[in-house]
Structure 1
Amino acid sequence: MQTFWGVLSVLFIMALLFPLAALGAFTAYFTAMEYLIPLVVAAYLTIGAYAVMSRFELYRYKKVFIIGTSAAVALSLIYAVPGIYDKTRPVLSDGQVDLVEYQPFKEKTKAVSLDKPASLQIKDELPVIDGATALYPIYSAFAQAVYPEKEYDPYSSEVMSSRTGAAYVNLINGRADIIFALEPSKAQIESAKNVGKELKLTPIGKEAFVFFVNAKNPVASLTEDEIKGVYSGNITNWKDVGGKNDPIRAFQRPEDSGSQTALQSFMGDVPIMDPPTEDIASLMGTIIGQVSDYKNHNNAIGYTFRYYSTQMVKNNKIRLLAVNGVEPTVDTIRSGEYPITNEFYAITAGSDNPHVEAFIEWILSNEGQEIIRKTGYVPIRK
């Protein structure tokens, strides 16, 4: 009878703990941290084994218990360490910049100002403007020069930043009058055509498309052909381009993002390999693959735009690569010496706002181009 009650008490303890263990395992699974599941199971079984040993006074097996549980936990940790390491790597993505720092008219805003009032002043029927995160400092400054002073929420106002993909959607669907972004992807052009609209692109400035690596990576420069080799999957180890014997982790951005469209333009007819993905849980409870944000592993490579990486993020743990031996700087962009430069645009899709054309003309004027220069980009006009 004593044994019966002992077994029952152990089962009762395990039953009480099971929901916690199950919750831990399911949480790990649905947050793409499935590498923690063996650790959760090992902890649960360790508690169970300890309960059995204590309840039945099996202390003569104490060494077996310690060795067995230690081995189980150690193996679980060995399995989990790569995943934990991956999760702790610094991430560079478009979502990590606090755009409030560049909000127009905000006290101590980083948005630049002209030395005198702008020649154009729009007082009513303000064009709704949207665009890429990296260009928000520019068009926030445009608004600060031309729009009436009030609060413009960076995420929901006449001056907002929805990031490139969403900005194109807003433009095509008539929720924005002008967006500031790089050239559209083929899918974005097609989306406009499907609703009977044509995207009009007015070049207003230039920027360098840059590739970056971990600051500890000894590789300082790649040729254009080497970069294409990396992103086509033909070059897979850093030793093939003068680095260490390490496999290359070439991160990519989601489709229709400005930087992914820039990569596709750079690659031309060279096919781009499938990107690294992460398994994440969708709202329907299934596990799907999503393009990973850049994680700063020692063997990683990613891409973005010069101003974003050097001014808005200022991540000193990454280093921009020279391309064909040329560093991406304002001077090399202006001279054309840096080989991968992109124009960025004021883009419209047939807005009926009465101020759109005058606003774009002003952006191309000396005043508008001065704002682009003062922000840290290269104006389209010298």
Structure 2
Amino acid sequence: MMTHRTPLLSLLVLGLVSALPACKRSESPASSDSSPKDEASSSPKPGGGKAVTVKGSDTMVILVQRWAEEYMKQNPGSPVQVTGGGSGTGIAALVNGTTDIATASRAIKDVEAQQVHARFKTEPKEIPVAKDGVTFYVNEASPLTSLTVEQLRGIYLGDTTNWKDVGGPDAPIVVYSRENSSGTYVFVKEHLLQNADYTEKALTLPGTAAVVNAVSQEKNGIGYGGAAYAKGIKELKIKVGADEVAPSQENILSGKYPLSRPLFFYVRGEPSEAVQKFIDFALSAEGQKLVSQVGYFPVK
């Protein structure tokens, strides 16, 4: 783990504007409600220097885009390019030397860290930049408000296939999941499924926004993703004993919510001045305020 401080250039975000989903948190002003894409967050600005590249977690794209846009306003002319593709894709780009910063919603694996070292003779540095709670979504018409970790595990392993078995209606459960390059997919597999395989009946979708959209249209659906995406669907609380624990800021920062997790930046060794300056902005009071506005939770 590391703490990074250094000045940086500025930022320019290339590519397609991916609109941000409106935030569900009371302190979170709404952005736009389109889904994020595997593209940069804003159009090119003339006169920019070499872009700082940020690639990886689809969960984090909406947040990094906001950081990039605000940072660019303060530092015009120095580009930062933001793309998604999944945590695994971002870390692979870090290993291949094709991104300056990898974003990940799960920790880097030992084999990935070894690959970085083998190629660049330096260790990857891990920087927690926000917190999240993996949230399970059901259709707004569902009568359910909470499930236990064990009930969620049964659904995603395929042992539980009818909602009536967990207190819902007599109807088949339609299970939605993320692709295996997703850090959220890996986190759920490790922390909920205890490294067992997902049910073969799970329908794999390319991003959290796609999962939310599917659940919003399928009355018997269930899916999962980052807390910032919960719009047009119902968030399930997790039942812990007699309590129903919501993925709220208080519960996530305290660790009471069972599926709380950090969101990371990864860099190779000591970052350049330009890269460090962007990291410093993300961790600044202003940057952490944007974390809350997007719908995630600050690291401090």
What TM-score, normalized to structure 2?
A: 0.69
Specify which of 274, 278, 282 is matched with residue 359 of structure 1.
278
- What is the one-letter code of the residue matched to 1:103? S
SS in 2 for 1:379: coil
Structure 1 equivalent of residue 251 of structure 2: 332
Give the CA deviation at 1:335. Answer: 4.1
Give the CA deviation at 1:264. Answer: 1.5
Give the CA deviation at 1:377. Answer: 1.8
1:243 aligns with 2:168: yes
Instruction: Assess if the C-alpha contact under 8 Å between 1:105 and 1:144 holds in 2.
Output: no
Structure 2 equivalent of residue 190 of structure 1: 111
Specify which of 132, 143, 166 is matched with residue 89 of structure 2.
166
Partners of 2:40 and 2:194 lie apart in 1 by 38
Give the CA deviation at 1:253. Answer: 1.7
Q: Deviations over 1:103-158 (max 9, x none)?
A: 3589xxxxxxxxxxxxxxxx855422223233223222322343443597xxxx62
Structure 2 equivalent of residue 38 of structure 1: none
Instruction: Assess if the C-alpha contact under 8 Å between 1:135 and 1:180 holds in 2.
Output: yes
- What is the one-letter code of the residue matched to 1:346? F
Distance 1:379 1:167, change over 3 A: same
Instruction: Assess if the C-alpha contact under 8 Å between 1:140 and 1:159 holds in 2.
Output: yes
SS in 1 for 2:168: coil
Give the CA deviation at 1:215. Answer: 2.0
SS in 1 for 2:178: coil
SS in 2 for 1:269: coil
Partners of 1:346 and 1:103 lie apart in 2 by 17
Instruction: Assess if the C-alpha contact under 8 Å between 1:177 and 1:348 holds in 2.
Output: yes
Partners of 1:101 and 1:331 lie apart in 2 by 32
Aligned residues with identical type, % of pairs: 27
Partners of 1:146 and 1:235 lie apart in 2 by 47
Q: Mark the runs of 5 or more structure 2 residues left unpaired by the alignment.
A: 1-33
Distance 1:245 1:380, change over 3 A: same
Q: Deviations over 1:25-51 (max 9, x none)?
A: xxxxxxxxxxxxxxxxxxxxxxxxxxx
Which runs of structure 2 are paired with 1:259-298 in the superposition (5 Å)?
A: 259-267=184-192, 269=194, 271-276=196-201, 291=204, 294=211, 295-296=214-215, 297-298=218-219
What TM-score, normalized to structure 1?
A: 0.56
Partners of 1:233 and 1:252 lie apart in 2 by 12
Partners of 2:268 and 2:235 lie apart in 1 by 35
Structure 1 equivalent of residue 31 of structure 2: none
Give the CA deviation at 1:247. Answer: 2.8
1:202 aligns with 2:127: yes
Distance 1:343 1:219, change over 3 A: same
Partners of 1:276 and 1:193 lie apart in 2 by 34
1:103 aligns with 2:41: yes
Structure 1 equivalent of residue 287 of structure 2: 368
Equivalent residues, number: 246
1:149 aligns with 2:76: yes
Structure 1 equivalent of residue 159 of structure 2: 234
Specify which of 149, 166, 182 is matched with residue 224 of structure 1.
149
Structure 2 equivalent of residue 299 of structure 1: 220
Give the CA deviation at 1:176. Answer: 0.8
Partners of 2:126 and 2:38 lie apart in 1 by 27
Specify which of 219, 234, 244 is matched with residue 319 of structure 1.
234
Q: Deviations over 1:191-228 (max 9, x none)?
A: 45235254322111111101112222222210112111
Higher helix share: 1
Larger Rg: 1
- What is the one-letter code of the residue matched to 2:133? A
Give RMSD over aligned pairs: 3.2
Partners of 1:322 and 1:228 lie apart in 2 by 14
Which runs of structure 2 are paired with 1:23-102 in the superposition (5 Å)?
A: 97-98=35-36
Q: Mark the runs of 5 or more structure 1 residues left unpaired by the alignment.
A: 1-95, 107-122, 279-290
1:377 aligns with 2:292: no
Distance 1:100 1:258, change over 3 A: closer
Instruction: Assess if the C-alpha contact under 8 Å between 2:59 and 2:105 holds in 1.
Output: no
Distance 1:371 1:299, change over 3 A: closer
